[in-house]
Chains A and B, each alone.
Chain A
Amino acid sequence: MDFLTILQILDSTVRLATPLLLACLAGLYSERAGVFDIGLEGKILASAFFSAAVAFTSGWVWIGLLAGIGASMVLAALHGVASITFRGNQLISGVAINFLAAGLTVVIAQTWFRQGGRTPALSGDGRFENVVLPGAESTIRGIAQQGPLGQVYSELISGHSILVYIALAIVPLTWWVLYRTRFGLRLRAVGENPAAVDTAGVSVVALRFSAVLIAGVLCGLAGAYLSTALSAGFVRDMSAGRGFIALAALIFAKWRPWYALSACLLFGFFDAVGNRYQNIQLGEIVVPVQFMQALPYILVVIVLAGLVGKAIPPRAGGEPYVKER
C-alpha cells in the first residue's frame, strides 16, 4: 500500500464522513436542547430528493440546496409542533417523519420524473463540483508527480465539494456557539433542566424550536450533499441509514462537537476501507468485504454496549416540558 493509496482512502473518508457529520451535528443541536430526533434520516432523505429535483428542474444546484433545506425544515417544524407544542412523544414523531419521507420522496419522484422513483442524473451547474484549491493539482497524473506534502494538499485537502468545507467549518462554529454564546448556554441548559430556564424567565418553547430548526438546516445540507455532491441525482432510500449512524456517532461523541467530528471520521474511514477493498488478505485468512462494510455497524453495537466509556445524555432529553406548580 503506497502513500497515495492511503491518501485516497483518507480522501474518501472525508467524503463519506461529511453527511454523517452534518446529521450528527443536527442531532447534537436538537438533543442538547432536550429533543430526541430519530427523524434525522427522514429529513436527510427529503432534502436529498428535493435538492436533486429542484437542481435538475432549475438547472442550478444552489436553488436545489435551498429547496432541500426548506423541505428538511418543514419536517423539522412538524417534529417541533408535535413534540414541543403538543408535547407528543418525540420518538413516535421521529418515526413518523422517517416513514413520511421514505414514502413521499419516491411517490413524488415517480409522478414528477417518471423514472422509477429517481431523479434524472445531474450534471454541470446542477451539481456541486469539486473545489480545486489554489495551487493544487486536480488530475491523478498531476498528483502522482508531486511530493508527499503536495500530495496531501492536492488529494486530501483540495478537491472536495464546497459542502465538505462548510460541514468542517460548522464543527468549530458549533463548539463556539455552545460554549461561548448566550444562546449556547441556554440551549445546553434547556436540555438539562428546562425548569431552570423557565424560572429564569426564558422561553423553553422558543429555545427548543430554534434548536430543532437548526437541526433541520443541517439535515438539509446533509441531504443535498448526498444527492448533488456525493452522487449525481436522487435514488430511493439513498440516505441508507446515515441518520441512524449519525445518532450512534452522537452517543459515541458524548454530545460534543469535536468528538462528533472524530466519531464521524472514524465511521467514514471504515466505510471508505470497506468500499475500497473487496477482500483483505491477512496471511491465510481472507476478510470478506461484507465484514468491512458491517464494521461501522459493529462499531455502533460496541459503542452502545458501553465499552467506550460512559455516555451521559442530556438529562431532560426526550421529555416534553410541562410547567409544574
Chain B
Amino acid sequence: MTTDAPAIELKGISKAFGPVQANRDITMSVARGTIHGIVGENGAGKSTLMSILYGFYKADRGEIFINGKLTPIPDSQAAIRAGIGMVHQHFKLVENFTVVENVILGAEDGALLRPSIAKARKLLTELAKDYGLNVDPDAVVEDLSVGHQQRVEILKQLYRQADILILDEPTGVLTPSEADQLFRILERLREEGKTIILITHKLREIMEITDTVSVMRRGEMTNTVKTSDTSPAELAEMMVGRKVLLEVDKPPATPGEVVLKVEDLRVSRGGVERVKGVSFEIRRGEILGIAGVAGNGQTELLEVLGGMIPAQGGTVSLFGEPIDITGKHSNGQTRRARGIGHVPEDRQDEGLIMPYEAWENVAFGYHKDPRYNSGILMNHAAIKDDCVDKMQRYDVRPPNPRLPARNFSGGNQQKIVVAREMDRAPDLLLVGQPTRGVDIGAIEFIHKQIIALRDQGKAILLVSVELDEIMGLSDRIAVMFDGRIMGERLPSETDQNELGLLMAGVTEGAA
C-alpha cells in the first residue's frame, strides 16, 4: 500500500463484438484513493470497459495493471482476487435471501455455513460502524428499500475485501436523499483509501463527487480531466461531440382554454388510497409538471388518466366533456380515441413489448388506425413505412424497424414510445419519467419534442422525479406528497429548496 503506482491502469484495451468496435485502444489510469468518473452516452462503451475490468468479457487486446502489476482478468473470480468489486446497475442480489446470506454467497469460508455467517455478521457490524453502512444483517433483501439494497451490494464487495469499487449508474434508482447518503458513503470509502470508479450520465453527480473524470464517446476515451478544471457544459460537449443545451430553451407559455380538468380524484390500489382527492387543470399550450418523490401517488394519477386502472372517486373532463374513469369504457383505447397520448413511466413494462420488433411497437394502441388496418388484416408494409418515417424524424438509432425493442438502448427505446404517442399530436399528452435512464443527447431531443408539442397548443402533464427536469420544462409545478397536491408554484418563483420541502410534506405554515 506504499507504492505510488495507480490502482488501475488500462493500456490499449480494445474489444469488438462482431463488426461493432465497443472499445478502441483505451488507456486510462486511476490513482489510489480517488473517485474517478466515467461519462458517456449510452452505447459509448462504458459498460463494456467495466465488464472487461470485472472479467465478464475478455479484451481482444490490451493490458490491465492493478497497483502497478500486470494482472490478466480472464473471469470474475480473477477480478475478485485482484480486489475489484462491482456494484451493477441492476443489483445482483438473491431477493429472498437475508442480507448476510447475500454477502457471503460465493465467498463462504468452508463447506458449512454456520462459521461463515457468524464471521460475516461480525464484519457487517464493523463495516456499518466504519462506513455508515447500516443494514440489518438478518433482514430479507426484498423487504429493504432500494437504497438499502444498494448498501448490501457495497457490503458484499467490502466483505470480499475489494479495494477498487466500480459503481454502474448507482443513483438511477435512488431518491435524491438516498443518493446523498450514497455519496457520503463513497466519501468515507475514499478516505479509507478505496478507489472508486463511478459510471453515470448525471453530470451534476460527476461534479459533486469525483476527483477526475474520463469521457467516452463511440468506444474511445476522448478526454480525461480533473473535475475541478471542467464544467458540466464542457463535459456534455465532450460526450456528445457538439454543444448541448443543458438548460431547456423555451419561449414563455401562452395558455389557452382548459383542456383537462381533474376534480377530487381518488385512487386506491391494493386497498390503500394512493391519490387522496387531487384537483387541477391544464390549459392549451401549457406544461404542468408534477414533482414528488416516487411513490406518492403520481404513478396512480398517471395510470388513471391513461386508462390503465380505475379511479374510486372524482371527475375528469376533457374540453368540458366528462371522461369515464371507473367503468368498463375506461381504457387506453378510449383514451386515445379522445386524443390523449400517454408515454408511460415504465417504458419496458408499459410502453413497449420488449421482444417485439420496433414496427410492431409503433403500432400498439393505434392498431385500429385505418392506415394500418384494412379491417381484418394488418397492413404490415404501411406500418413499417410509418415506422421508418418516425425513426428518421425522431432520430431513433439504428433506424431499423425489424430490430426487437429490447435491442435498442434506453434512450432509443424511449424515442420509439415518444414517436408513437406524440406524432399524432394528441390534445393532451401524459408523460411519466420521460428521461429516466436516457442519455444526455436523447434527453435534449425528448425535451425539445415536448416543448414543440406545447407550442402547437397542446396540453401536457409531466410527471417526473427529476427536479431539474420539472424545473426546466414546466410552466406550472404541482408537488405531490402522500397522495395530495401540497401546492402549486411557478418555476420562476420557486427554487429546489422550496420544492424539496414540499416534496417532503412540509407545508408553508410549518416551513
Contact = CB atoms under 8 A, between A and B. Distances in A.
Interface of A: 179-186, 188-189, 192-193, 195-202, 315, 323, 325
Interface string B408-440: 000000000000000000000000000000000
Nearest to A176: B112
A130 B454 CA distance: 85
Contacts of B54: 199
Contacts of B112: 180-182
Contacts of B48: 325
Interface string B429-455: 000000000000000000000000000
Contacts of B88: 199
A182 B116 contact: yes
B113 A182 contact: yes
B95 A192 contact: yes
Contact of A182 (B92, B95, B111): B111
A206 to B, nearest CB: 13
A197 B97 contact: no
Contacts of B116: 182
B22 to A, nearest CB: 9
Nearest to B48: A325
* Most B CB within 10 A of own CB, among A179, A185, A199: A199
Contact of A200 (B56, B106, B110): B106
Given A180-B112, A181-B111, A186-B105, 8 more contacts: A182-B108, A182-B116, A186-B106, A193-B93, A193-B94, A196-B94, A196-B105, A202-B106
Nearest to B114: A180
Given A199-B88, A200-B105, A185 B113 contact: yes
A248 to B, nearest CB: 23
Nearest to B91: A196
A189 B95 contact: no
B287 interface: no
Contacts of B77: 201
Contacts of A181: 111-113
Contacts of A184: 113
Nearest to A316: B94
A167 B133 CA distance: 45
B101 A185 contact: yes
Contacts of B181: none
B86 interface: yes
Contact of A199 (B86, B96, B97, B101): B86
A114 to B, nearest CB: 50
Nearest to A190: B94
A192 B92 CA distance: 11
B106 A201 contact: yes
A117 to B, nearest CB: 45
Nearest to A201: B77
B75 interface: yes
Contacts of B75: 201
